């Protein structure tokens, strides 16, 4: 609820700016959005206690709007702003790098009301003639439109998975179902998915499908039959996602799960193996003539075809059938002994060092690294040099006073536009480890993001390169960065590359991860947590790493504490 509420105030600020309102007014609503995003209390409980107006930075007028949203799911001011503007205008905010000020300029000067109008203005050259625009600016917008179009229609893994998990729980309420699985690209752990596929073995498919299509959040029922149901459910920003449920006999469940999980190329490869043995493979089973010889479980399919069982994440026909591949060594969530990238209230996190440590202990971790933002990340309340020295001491004190977990003193140090680091070496050397990341000037040509990252890699105190490509799935494309050059530099300098488990990032992505481990580069799978809840994101990074063929021995935060300390001593400074 709080995230949606914060988003509503952010949209008010955007629409005010597009409408030509003064900057002070729109920024005041952005400030409210930030306050709500960082709120740790239950907003509904605050409303019940009638104390919303007592939140620092929230006045009576704003509190009334918050209460209005909590009561009705809407804010009249936001609805009125939407009505005043052409419906297609706010959608332009989805284009990476295009903010409300430019959209307002385009609307006032060229009467651009939607994406079609914007593309026409690019095509006829009128956009480039506006004050403050030019060929480079226009090309950047054109690139953003292309990126938006290629990402449309697909849903980030981190938005789709909770929906699928909620639906499987809902289906289990109907009956004691023994065989029910998420299938498709979601089961493979793809970073974005088209539809959600669910598979179930049940004797009364028609009744189960009726229960499925009767889910209270269903926006449309596309199909409802004896063996299949299709519905749509809301996700975000007015979008929907399709969910398909297929009901199959128990004797075919394994074959169907394999069929509806594997990519097209993986399944074609498997069918080819079957044909070589004069067998037939389909979603009903593996057949020798008319006799079914496998199908009740997935592993029997692979076994009868003479190949090792392939974990779902690898079913892309990208080398998973090689005989020397030992899939039993793939990283598992339980292999991780700690998390080396997280934030606290010292910068832009929601919880203290002690609170993050307590939650990490509950997850069974041996160690964590507190890595708050450096000084140039002003929007994230980055720590000045003086504050960082104090923060290091605070981390050291927490480490001494909190039993059962090691707390490393770290930082997430910005890689600056001139390829230097945001802290001097004496600060970096005082930390136990350093995560270095690019957060701004991502499109700057000189020095390039590649040169900036390599410069950070070559600093002896940098341990990990955080979210190396800087992408935000469906929001911001990756930087123009030379991944092979980054991997080569990391290999030469014993620098770790991160798989960031934030579902918006999942960065490095799977193909880059595989390149890195093939080159002998070590990986850190971290959450980049900004709250205690975020610590549970680790499985997103693990799935991405598995898709990149990462083994336990490739990941530094699978090391026991003593060995990690030794590794840090040997590779830093």
Q: What is the pLDDT of residues 131-165, one digit of tens each?
A: 888 888 888 888 888 867 765 678 999 999 999 99
Beta strands in 168-268 (DSSP E): 180-183, 192-193, 196-201, 220-224, 228-234, 240-248
**Dist CA 262 CA 158 (whole Å):** 20
Outline which parts of the chain fall under CATH 3.30.210.10: 249-323
Topology of domain 155-244, CATH: Beta Polymerase; domain 2 (3.30.460)
* pLDDT of amino acid 347: 95
* pLDDT of amino acid 196: 95
CATH superfamily of 2-151: DNA polymerase beta, N-terminal domain-like (1.10.150.110)
Pairing of strands 367-373, 338-342: parallel
Is 3.40.190.10 the CATH classification of the domain at 249-323?
no
Residue 342, C-beta contacts closer than 8 angstroms, at least 6 positions apart: 349, 356, 368, 369, 370, 371, 526, 527, 528, 529, 530, 534, 535
Outline which parts of the chain fall under CATH 3.30.460.10: 155-244
Element (H, E) at 433: strand 433-437
CATH classification number, 333-571, choose in 3.30.230.10, 3.20.20.140, 3.40.1080.10, 3.40.50.300? 3.20.20.140
Residue 216, C-beta contacts closer than 8 angstroms, at least 6 positions apart: none
* pLDDT of amino acid 4: 76
* pLDDT of amino acid 87: 79
Segments of the chain scoring below 70 in pLDDT: 1, 147, 150-152, 237-238, 573
**Dist CA 302 CA 553 (whole Å):** 26
């Amino acid at each position: 609820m709080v995230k949606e509420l914060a988003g509503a105030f952010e949209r008010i600020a955007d629409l005010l700016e597009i409408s030509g309102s003064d900057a002070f007014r729109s920024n005041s609503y952005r400030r409210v959005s930030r306050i709500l995003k960082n709120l740790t209390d239950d907003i509904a409980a605050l409303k019940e206690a009638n104390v919303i107006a007592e939140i620092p930075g929230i006045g009576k007028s704003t509190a009334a709007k918050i209460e209005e949203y909590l009561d009705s799911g809407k804010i009249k001011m936001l609805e009125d702003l939407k009505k005043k503007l052409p419906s297609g205008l706010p959608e332009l905010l989805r284009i990476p790098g295009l903010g409300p000020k430019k959209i307002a300029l385009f609307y006032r000067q060229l009467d651009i009301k939607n994406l079609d109008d914007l593309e026409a203005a690019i095509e006829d050259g009128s956009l480039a003639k506006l004050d403050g625009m030019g060929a480079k600016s226009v090309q950047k917008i054109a690139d953003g439109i292309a990126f938006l179009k290629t990402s449309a229609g697909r849903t980030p893994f981190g938005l789709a998975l909770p929906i699928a998990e909620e639906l499987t729980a809902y289906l289990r309420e109907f009956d004691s179902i023994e065989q029910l699985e998420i299938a498709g690209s979601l089961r493979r752990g793809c970073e974005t998915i088209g539809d959600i596929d669910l598979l179930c073995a049940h004797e009364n498919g028609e009744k189960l499908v009726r229960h499925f299509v009767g889910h209270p959040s269903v926006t449309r029922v596309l199909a409802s039959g004896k063996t299949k149901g299709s519905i749509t459910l809301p996700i975000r920003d007015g979008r929907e996602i399709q969910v398909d449920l297929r009901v199959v006999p128990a004797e075919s469940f394994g074959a169907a799960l394999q069929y509806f999980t594997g990519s097209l190329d993986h399944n074609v490869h498997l069918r080819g193996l079957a044909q070589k043995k004069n067998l037939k493979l389909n979603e009903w089973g593996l057949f020798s003539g008319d006799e079914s010889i496998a199908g009740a479980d997935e592993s029997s399919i692979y076994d009868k075809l003479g190949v090792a069982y392939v974990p779902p994440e690898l079913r892309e026909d990208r080398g998973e059938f090689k005989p020397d591949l030992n899939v039993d060594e793939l990283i598992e969530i339980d292999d991780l002994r700690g998390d080396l990238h997280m934030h606290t209230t010292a910068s832009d996190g929601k919880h203290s060092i002690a609170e993050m440590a307590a939650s990490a202990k509950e997850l069974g971790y041996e160690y964590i690294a507190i890595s708050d933002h450096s000084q140039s990340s002003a929007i994230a309340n980055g720590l000045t040099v003086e504050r960082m020295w104090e923060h290091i001491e605070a981390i050291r004190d927490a480490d001494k006073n909190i039993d059962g977990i090691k707390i490393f003193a770290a930082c997430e140090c910005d890689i600056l536009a001139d390829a230097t680091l945001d802290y001097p070496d004496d600060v970096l050397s005082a930390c136990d480890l350093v995560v270095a990341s690019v957060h701004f000037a991502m499109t700057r040509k000189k020095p390039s993001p590649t040169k900036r990252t390599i410069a950070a890699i070559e600093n002896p105190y940098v341990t990990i390169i955080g979210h190396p490509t800087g992408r935000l799935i469906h929001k911001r494309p990756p930087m123009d960065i030379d991944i092979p050059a980054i991997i080569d530099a990391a290999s030469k300098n014993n620098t770790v590359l991160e798989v960031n488990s934030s579902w918006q990032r999942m960065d490095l992505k799977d193909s880059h991860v595989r390149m890195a481990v093939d080159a002998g580069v070590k990986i850190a799978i971290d959450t980049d947590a900004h709250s205690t809840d975020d610590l549970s994101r680790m499985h997103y990074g693990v799935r991405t790493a598995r898709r990149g063929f990462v083994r336990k021995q490739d990941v530094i935060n699978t090391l026991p504490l003593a060995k990690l300390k030794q590794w840090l001593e040997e590779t830093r400074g």
